[in-house]
Structure 1
Amino acid sequence: MKTPISPRIQRTRPGLPAAVVISALLLALTACGAQAPASSTSDAGQATGVPALAVNEAAAKLLPESIKATRVLRVAIPTNEPPTQFYREGTQEMTGTNPDVARLIGETLGVKVEIQVANFDSIIPGLAAGRYDMTVSSMTPTAKRMEVLDFVDYMQMGNSIAVASGNPLGISSEGSLCGKKVGLLTGSYQLAVNVPAIDEDCTAAGNGTIQRSEFQDTRQAISALTSGRLDAVLADSPILDFAASQNPQIGIASKYDFTSVGVGMPKDSGMVKAVSAALDSVIKSDSYLKVLGKYGLESAAITDARVNFAQ
């Protein structure tokens, strides 16, 4: 059984003049943090354990001429966070659901995938600057992000709240986070959308708002939780669920709000038709289910590669 998709809370915003959209969005999504330089690794998708897929010639013909010429897709993926992305032991080669889905897309389009490792909050600025062609980074399509990016859904995931083992503070839901010290990934959906909504409810109930602490990767937040500097961590469920399975010092207090995440690419790149056609082939293939199953994420499978479906 696949976990059903349920919509997340979405605060819609009126449109902005085209001249200010990109600058305003980049400021909002980078949370005023300095952009970190991206490190990169390159691979041809060979010997990575990704099942082979035939080239979808019709999809490949839809690629922009620049990609046809280089036959390379530069894909931005965040830092080391298993099981969605992490370095294969003893190497600088990225594996996990996100790199493997990117490689399946590359196989379907008949191009090489070059993984560019970057902090999550630097990915959208990097796409805008032309450093990457697309991102496969568990990024939730929101109305705000869709002002500058096109998205095609490729899997689904939810939120989890991680707490210290035994849950000493009795945290059981989003509502339990009022006034608590909570760790969040910089630039994340949880920080940009979930926390403001929770804070509104906390204020309406006469409780204190969340005391936010931002981190460049979820492992740093988990370390702060286990050292007692945080009361909870709110992040993507695959990452926190995996961390809890490996670390007896933490547990999962709540898991909820499953929805799709998408491959993102700049609106002016001409990529969306090719990627949409490729992902339509990918998610119908046995290779897709094998990739998700390799990381215990069979329930993350979707059946419809929706285009620009805001959450």
Structure 2
Amino acid sequence: MNTRIRTLLAAAALLAAATACGAEPLDSGAEAERSAAPVVLDQAPAEDKAAGVINAITPDEALAAKVPARLKTDGLKVVSSLGYPPMEFYGSDGKTAIGLDPSLTRAIARKLGVKVAITDEEFNSQIPGVLTGRYDFVISSMTDNAERQGKVSFVDYVRAGAGLLVKKGNPAGISGPDDLCGKTVSVVDNGSSLALAEQYDADCEKAGKGAVSILKFPGDQEALLQVGGGRAQASITDYVVTTYKAADPKLGVEAIALEGTESLWGIGMKPDDKELIDSVKGALDALIRSGEYGKVLKAWNLEKLAVESATVNGGK
């Protein structure tokens, strides 16, 4: 038997012995290691007020095992409208999404063990983007109501309403709608705040108290200036806006929540995307139970928006 044949027979014997012992091909271990490699989760940017909380969140293994397969490979694709602080807006670089909604999005992604990308879109384009599959979900201070439920399914994540801005120290002694009788309030014209002011005015007149004098302006900033200048004793706007303004010491105002005006805001998804809906609800409930949800809200001074559990299509 020549040398080449002996060499080949010896190699074959070694391979057979290795196979009999249950050995794997040399490259299979490397392949298994690559497939089992953990996802490197996104870090919240430094300007995210909840960054410390978010970056400490670790995946929930049970939830991570059940996420839709596309999320494991492509990550979570999210759409928002980045122009409504403190809920969603751009950081100082003009590119990075920050605010409560991006914070909660990143927290949900980390709990599910997936990466995330947040895209800015005009509000009216967001639901169509979800329905066409361009985005997995929309989170953009969107009220969960019956009309929208005809298009998407919501996982409700906060309960938000209207609020009052009053001068620091509240010299007019305003604590709620009844205290507005006989006073002047400023609002944005043709919005929900104007409707509330008109309702409070009607209630005051019905109760035989002084009417509410209403000053109307094109935007929140003009309405706010009336409080600082003393022309109005209060300004009515969204509660989330009042907290953001009150956090700026230069403005010299404080926020008061208008109880009873709250509605649920939801994360919108395709109704037939059941796996994703369950995953997002599960992640949000896990964050609520762990206390991480509350810490994220507190970082943005929005604890009053907290819900006790995630609901699906709980809005009316």
Which stretches in structure 1 are left out of the alignment for 5+ residues? 1-42, 215-219
Q: 1:106 maps to which residue? A: 109
- 1:104, distance to aligned residue in structure 2 (A): 0.8
When residues 131 and 200 of structure 1 are mapped into structure 2, their CA distance, relative to the original with a 3 A threshold, is farther
Residue pair 2:185, 2:236 contacting (<8 A) in 1 also: no
Instruction: Give the AA of the match of 2:43.
Output: Q
The equivalent of 2:312 in structure 1 is 307
Distance 2:132 2:247 in 1: 38
TM-score (norm 1): 0.63
CA spacing shift, 1:97–1:277, aligned 2, 3 Å: same
Classify 1:293/1:130 alpha carbon distance in 2 versus 1 (closer, same or farther; 3 Å). Answer: same
Q: Does 1:275 align with 2:275?
A: no
State the partner residue of 1:127. Answer: 130
Paired letter, 1:137:
S
Where do residues 69-148 of structure 1 align in structure 2 (5 Å cutoff)? 69-82=73-86, 84-90=87-93, 92-148=95-151
Distance 1:164 1:287, change over 3 A: closer
- Higher strand fraction (1 or 2): 1
Matched-pair contact (CA < 8 Å) for 1:103–1:113: yes
Q: CA deviation at 1:102?
A: 0.4
For residues 28-50 of structure 1, give each alpha carbon's deviation from its aligned partner in whole angstroms, at most 9, with x where no partner exists.
xxxxxxxxxxxxxxx96315322
From 183, 190, 199, the equivalent of 2:188 is 183
Inter-CA distance 45–75: structure 2 relative to 1 (3 Å threshold): farther
Shift of 1:170: 9.8
How many angstroms apart in 2 are the aligned matches of 1:290 and 1:102? 14
- Encode CA deviations 1:170-193: one digit per residue, 9 max, x unaligned: 987558599976217x9xxx73xx
Q: 1:76 to 1:91 in 2, by over 3 A?
A: closer
Q: Does 1:157 align with 2:157?
A: no
CA contact (8 A) 2:164 2:257 kept: yes
Q: Quick one: which amino acid aligns to residue 225 of structure 2?
A: T
Matches within 5 A, 1:257-272: 257=259, 258-270=262-274, 271-272=276-277
1:46/1:213 CA distance change after superposition, 3 Å: same
Find 1:292's aligned residue among 288, 297, 303: 297
The separation in 1 between residues aligned to 2:157 and 2:264, in whole angstroms, is 7
Please give the per-residue CA displacement for 1:203-248, whole angstroms capped at 9, x wherever unaligned.
786989978766xxxxx522454279x9675433232122133155
Q: Which has more radius of gyration?
A: 2
Paired residue secondary structure (1:151): strand
Please, what TM-score do these two structures have when normalized by structure 2?
0.62
Shift of 1:81: 0.9
Higher relative contact order (CA 8 A, sep 6+): 1
Residues 180 and 295 of structure 1, relative CA distance in 2, 3 Å threshold: closer
Instruction: Say what the alpha-carbon RMSD is for the aligned residues.
Output: 4.1
Aligned-partner SS, 1:240: helix
- How many residue pairs get matched? 257
Distance 1:303 1:212, change over 3 A: same
Letter aligned with residue 104 of structure 1: A
In 2, Cα distance between equivalents of 1:94 and 1:168: 37
In the superposition, relative to structure 1, how do residues 256 and 44 fare at CA in structure 2: closer, same or farther (>3 Å)?
Answer: same
Supply the distance in 1 between the matched residues of 2:121 and 2:71 (Cα, whole angstroms): 21
Q: Which range is displaced more, 299-308 or 248-257?
A: 248-257
SS of aligned partner of 1:160 = strand
d(CA) in 2 for partners of 1:183 and 1:167?
A: 21
Deviation of 1:110 (Å): 1.9
Tell whether the 8 Å contact from 1:164 to 1:225 is kept in structure 2 after alignment.
Answer: no
Work out the percentage of aligned pairs sharing the same amino acid: 30
After superposition, the Cα gap between the structure-2 partners of 1:255 and 1:208, relative to the gap in structure 1 and judged at 3 Å, is closer
**Residue pair 2:41, 2:113 contacting (<8 A) in 1 also:** no
